[in-house]
């Protein structure tokens, strides 16, 4: 059997050359669908990374009216710890706030102010399972009800924007990926059927001359594998070529796309194996049932 491999491989390449009018459109469609798949998967990966980073939005800072004494600060901390949505909280004294300000801004910004104008505060992180706008508002209201608290700050507008759009970040890439997969499988099956129709007499002659299913199927499966590798490979190369200028132009998204090559590798392997599998089952169906 193994001595026939060179012949079978040669037949697969001959099939690609002879039926290029069918193969080239199939490869072009595979290329386009693979490119959209890689793009959608990278957008989905970006959305997941962004969602993981969105926890930093769900933070509240409550400023004291007057700097509390240690015992008073401990008492307020114990009360705030019992809030149902609170994951962690940190007490920041006025001295710590001033030190943080000096580390972040030039010291001359305070040259017109005597003493320390910055108040002590509580920094509260909301639990992962309670990260929503309602939990932020409810916790803020409870903090404002305390007489010791003067102001509560939270990025409510940013949270509302994120919650309004975050599902779009997940739904659109998933819908596009599913649609592209359906189109890919349809194109693969139709391309292989057309190839089989054009070579129907040859396949039947080999079949009735005693050719084994493996001997008949192997060239078609290899053709499908090669089509998938060529189409998806070109798509992966194009995406990598486009990705680098985008990262250069928008360096902030670079850290979210560090593993973008994994999506390209996955799509390349998935499309190639899918093409081979569709070819196998299409030829198998033809051998046992006809077209």
Residue 27 — very low, low, confident or very high, per pLDDT cuts 50/70/90? confident
Q: Is 87 exposed, middle or buried (0-12, 13-18, 19+ CB in 10 A)?
A: middle
* Model pLDDT for residues 108-162, shown as the tens digit of each residue: 766 666 777 788 888 988 888 888 888 888 888 888 888 888 888 888 888 888 8
- Residues 233, 15 contacting (CB under 8 angstroms): no
Q: What is the mean pLDDT of the chain?
A: 79
Output the pLDDT for position 234.
92
126 φ/ψ sector (left φ>0, alpha ψ -120 to 50, else beta): beta
**DSSP E strand boundaries for the chain:** 59-64, 86-92, 121-126, 149-153
Cα distance between residue 25 and residue 206, in whole Å? 28
Ordered structural domains, the chain, with CATH: 2-53+162-289 (no CATH), 59-130 (3.30.70.3040)
Q: What does the DSSP assignment read for 73-111? A: HHHHHHHHHTSTTEEEEEEE-HHHHHHHHHHHS-GGGGT
7-10 own/partner pairs: CB under 8 Å, 24+ apart: 8/215, 8/218, 8/219, 8/222, 9/219, 9/222
Q: Would you say residue 200 has pLDDT above 80? A: no
Residue 1 — very low, low, confident or very high, per pLDDT cuts 50/70/90? very low
Find, among 217, 285, 278, 243, the residue nearest to 41 by Cα.
Answer: 243
- Residues 37, 103 contacting (CB under 8 angstroms): no
Output the pLDDT for position 180.
79
* Model pLDDT for residues 48-107, shown as the tens digit of each residue: 777 777 777 888 888 988 888 888 888 888 888 888 888 888 888 888 887 887 777 776
Q: What percent of the chain has pLDDT over 70?
A: 80
- Residues 38, 267 contacting (CB under 8 angstroms): yes
* Model pLDDT for residues 208-255, shown as the tens digit of each residue: 666 677 777 777 788 888 888 888 899 989 988 888 787 777 666 666
Cα distance between residue 40 and residue 51, in whole Å? 16
24-36 mean pLDDT: 83
Q: Please provide the size of the chain in residues.
A: 291
Is residue 124 classed as helix, strand or coil in its secondary structure? strand
Find, among 275, 282, 279, the residue nearest to 30 by Cα.
Answer: 275
Q: Is 35 exposed, middle or buried (0-12, 13-18, 19+ CB in 10 A)?
A: buried
Residues 6+ apart with CB under 8 A from 222: 8, 9, 12, 276
Find, among 62, 67, 89, the residue nearest to 78 by Cα.
Answer: 89
* Model pLDDT for residues 149-194, shown as the tens digit of each residue: 888 888 888 888 888 877 777 788 888 888 877 887 787 777 777 7
């Amino acid at each position: 059997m193994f001595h026939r491999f060179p012949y079978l491989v040669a037949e697969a390449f001959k099939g690609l050359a002879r039926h290029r009018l069918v193969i080239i459109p199939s490869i072009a469609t595979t290329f386009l669908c693979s490119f959209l798949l890689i793009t959608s998967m990278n957008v989905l990966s970006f959305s997941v990374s962004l969602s993981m980073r969105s926890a930093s939005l769900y933070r509240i800072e409550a400023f004291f009216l007057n700097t509390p004494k240690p015992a008073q600060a401990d008492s307020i901390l114990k009360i705030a710890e019992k809030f149902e949505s609170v994951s962690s909280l940190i007490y920041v004294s006025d001295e710590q706030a001033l030190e943080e300000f000096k580390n972040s801004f030039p010291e001359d910004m305070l040259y017109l102010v005597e003493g320390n104008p910055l108040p002590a505060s509580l920094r509260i992180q909301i639990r992962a399972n309670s990260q929503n706008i309602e939990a932020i508002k409810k916790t803020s209201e409870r903090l404002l009800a305390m007489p010791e608290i003067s102001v509560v700050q939270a990025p409510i507008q940013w949270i509302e924007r994120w919650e309004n759009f975050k599902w779009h970040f997940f739904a659109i890439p998933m819908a596009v990926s599913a649609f592209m997969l359906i189109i890919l499988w349809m194109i693969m099956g139709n391309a292989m059927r057309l190839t089989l129709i054009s070579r129907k007499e040859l396949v039947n002659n080999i079949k009735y001359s005693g050719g084994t299913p493996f001997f008949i199927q192997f060239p078609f499966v290899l053709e499908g594998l090669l089509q998938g590798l060529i189409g998806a490979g070109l798509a992966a190369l194009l995406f990598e070529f486009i990705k680098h200028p985008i990262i250069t132009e928008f360096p902030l998204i670079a850290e979210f796309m560090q593993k973008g090559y994994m999506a390209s590798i996955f799509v390349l392997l998935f499309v190639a194996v899918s093409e081979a599998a569709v070819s196998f089952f299409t030829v198998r169906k033809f051998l046992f049932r006809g077209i």
